[in-house]
Structure 1
């Protein structure tokens, strides 16, 4: 008998943003919610399970507490920023239903399994690394002692670490997540400032071959080997979305860097084109993460087959910093890539990070001017965050750039500048984020482009006005948190 299983994204701070598939939790400049894909995937494997994403649905503990009463297994996704709240939720679950087995998954659990278990006796086990089939084994009644890839609390209270589970090589062995979204989630609750609404996102593969020192998921759970689903398997899920979720206006492929395999990306695009993507009158577009080095010929194929937007991690406009973080990207290549996207009509949401190793006031200025020059449609500016398990964390602790604590956010969810250098204190880096946003967006050219977009589309008009209010509120709260 399969255990009655609940997958839970626990209630969190007001304005929680799950960020990139629940990987980077914080308040952002514009309110958004990402699908809890990493919970939906094992939920799709476990028969009769249920998924609750409390933050996106504005649910408090009181709203969901009754859901725990008959559950035999509750699986919570946790992260460094959300861990304290997740522990409190685990304690509440165990107090209400002492018989429920509670497990934690996510990067925090993967790299600090003992520390997670030691936080509270309410947590019975943590699943390390990839956890889909790990959770399936437990839900199917396998004894914890026999389950690969977990650390668990024995009856005597001791912590036992079982052997690692092999990573999944046959990605087609994983079922679709979209039916779980449709079954358990309110699709309209999920939105992003740069994606058409409503949207849906899922992965066509896991892992990223890049070695960026700050990036959490490849260094903790996904790995650096890009393992992909077959094109046919992906297309079948797209067909499911088209048939069963007709309200969807955009599909976002959430692979760390879909364009790492250019030939495969072109093949996927061509198959999407056969479904109607990119054709006049077809109501759905698609978008994905990309590295700023995709050649023009590939971009052209993607655009012709329905690509609307690329989410691009530029990080910095300074070449030395890109070398320091092992980005594997040249500034001049990124500049030409962006020019090619503009020429083809591909929209770019560019992400930048301030405070990375090697940062100075001069490099921050260089990055701001670079962002204005290449002019992506929208941007996100973050503070360098040393997540446990990353090379950046190890580097920062060894060099006394920060004290190694888990406190990456204020209690209200606003990101804190953790890294501080002798020549560039954290407070200065924190203030430069607001300056970056203002100097990028408060330009006649950018204001004109945004106003023009609003005038052409009434839905966009309402959306941008709402986002404008949120943006200024975000800046106000950042200043208060400083």
Structure 2
């Protein structure tokens, strides 16, 4: 095997670029997702090393020595971080001319030619899933024979090999948690709504939903939800409980774990057998869910220790949900949320402003909707037209934006890219701050947060820190505007 290094390159201060992050940017409170898509091939190559520079606040000078003896170096990249990642690749090339350098991620999966043309420092890019692709390269297989890559031939020509068949037997993949334990400091990973410290990993890949804005199912994961067997998942959970006793929450990062209701119920039952959901058991679990899970399934999940659901509501306007092919009815989402509140399942709700069909009236509808259903916490994002998504194609065809890949400010704050004849990007940008303020600065919500702090000293320290970060986030947004 080649001596291999997997890297999330240094980037903006506080920038969350991990592949688990649906939107790569700085967030309203400190948040870092695990670089799971890098950890997976790292787990398959003996002697590999994984570096996640942003989460560990590492600069190039902090990690440059790590590249000196490596034969294969793989960087995860994204549309917002691409220019910075290319710069890192060039620094690596200057320091270690012999290394084989490759890029992975949705950006290069859909723009392979353009990505390779950006710099001669990059030898290859991987398209679609890349776990076994990277393994074959590390084993020394000639690039010309590796399926699923585009590469730079010795004469400089860019060659696109045939696609690699999609992986269906997910139990072929090893656990990623041992790589976290070996190479990462898990206390560096935060989620504003997750207990700390937490661990996240996938129990399956792909998402049945067809949301026009969502990046990973349209570029890398696909729409066929392929899953690990429940015994395989349970064994990794046991590993975390045994080897990482400081962990307080396990987040299953599948795009939508509740896509398969019988399976999520069976998983919850098995987790319950381990002690999840029992009095005194110090670890909870959580997952991504669609706002249409029936109460029966929610009851089974709660009994099996489910604490929190991350739910993409996106909009409170039914027509916008139709426009983005969300496959969700507002009335169903309201009943789902009511059921979660009654069962004691916490919700972190995500919303997006500026989607096709947005008006001042629909934004107001979404703000009022969020206040009405009252998730515990929210995240408000700007519609982001990532290359490879239907939204990107739609926005280009309609002239809603100019196709630039500059989705962030130089400081890592998200920019409003889409602008409509009746609604400017500047107005959409300002409405994000208004939504945050109207949701959180209510007596009911302030009272709930204060009550949470009074009951738990650790939560008090955390919420005070997050409050400072939140107001700093709002200040930086004003500067960006």
What TM-score range do you get, normalising by the shorter chain?
A: over 0.9
Distance (Å, rounded) in 2 between the aligned partners of 1:5 and 1:24: 27
- Which residue of the partner structure matches residue 378 of structure 1? 377
Structure 2: 5+ residue stretches without partners: none
- Which residue of the partner structure matches residue 363 of structure 1? 362
Distance (Å, rounded) in 1 between the aligned partners of 2:411 and 2:326: 31
Q: CA RMSD in A?
A: 0.6
- Which residue of the partner structure matches residue 396 of structure 1? 395
- Which residue of the partner structure matches residue 186 of structure 1? 185
TM-score if structure 2 supplies the norm length? 1.00
Q: Is the 8 A contact 2:408 2:414 kept in 1?
A: yes
**Aligned-pair CA distance for 1:191:** 0.9
Look up the SS of the partner of 2:407 in the other structure. Answer: coil
Q: Is the 8 A contact 2:19 2:37 kept in 1?
A: no
- Which residue of the partner structure matches residue 128 of structure 1? 127
Distance (Å, rounded) in 2 between the aligned partners of 1:207 and 1:429: 30
Look up the SS of the partner of 1:386 in the other structure. Answer: coil
**Aligned-pair CA distance for 1:31:** 1.0
**Aligned-pair CA distance for 1:24:** 2.4
Look up the SS of the partner of 1:76 in the other structure. Answer: strand
Distance (Å, rounded) in 1 between the aligned partners of 2:478 and 2:27: 14
- Which residue of the partner structure matches residue 353 of structure 2? 354
- Which residue of the partner structure matches residue 295 of structure 1? 294
Q: Is the 8 A contact 2:384 2:407 kept in 1?
A: yes
Q: How big is each residue's C-alpha offset from its partner over 1:8-52, in whole Å with a ceiling of 9 and x where there is no partner?
A: 000000111236614421011111111000000000011110000
- Which residue of the partner structure matches residue 246 of structure 2? 247
Distance (Å, rounded) in 2 between the aligned partners of 1:362 and 1:472: 27
Distance (Å, rounded) in 2 between the aligned partners of 1:166 and 1:106: 17
The 1:223–1:52 alpha-carbon spacing in structure 2 relative to 1, beyond 3 Å, is: same
The answer as to 2:115 corresponding to 1:116 is yes
The aligned runs of 1:66-465 (5 Å cut-off) are 66-465=65-464
- Which residue of the partner structure matches residue 472 of structure 1? 471
Look up the SS of the partner of 1:413 in the other structure. Answer: coil
Q: Is the 8 A contact 1:23 1:79 kept in 2?
A: no
Distance (Å, rounded) in 1 between the aligned partners of 2:83 and 2:312: 29
TM-score if structure 1 supplies the norm length? 0.99
Distance (Å, rounded) in 1 between the aligned partners of 2:17 and 2:311: 18
Distance (Å, rounded) in 2 between the aligned partners of 1:108 and 1:22: 14
Q: How big is each residue's C-alpha offset from its partner over 1:381-436, in whole Å with a ceiling of 9 and x where there is no partner?
A: 00000000000000000000000110100110000000000000000000000000
Q: How big is each residue's C-alpha offset from its partner over 1:445-471, in whole Å with a ceiling of 9 and x where there is no partner?
A: 000000000001111000000000000
Distance (Å, rounded) in 2 between the aligned partners of 1:346 and 1:284: 15
Distance (Å, rounded) in 1 between the aligned partners of 2:47 and 2:19: 27
- Which residue of the partner structure matches residue 52 of structure 1? 51
Distance (Å, rounded) in 1 between the aligned partners of 2:441 and 2:282: 32
Q: Which runs of 4 or more aligned residues in structure 1 lie more than 3 Å from their structure 2 counterparts after TM superposition?
A: none
Q: Is the 8 A contact 1:30 1:471 kept in 2?
A: yes
Structure 1: 5+ residue stretches without partners: none
Look up the SS of the partner of 2:350 in the other structure. Answer: strand
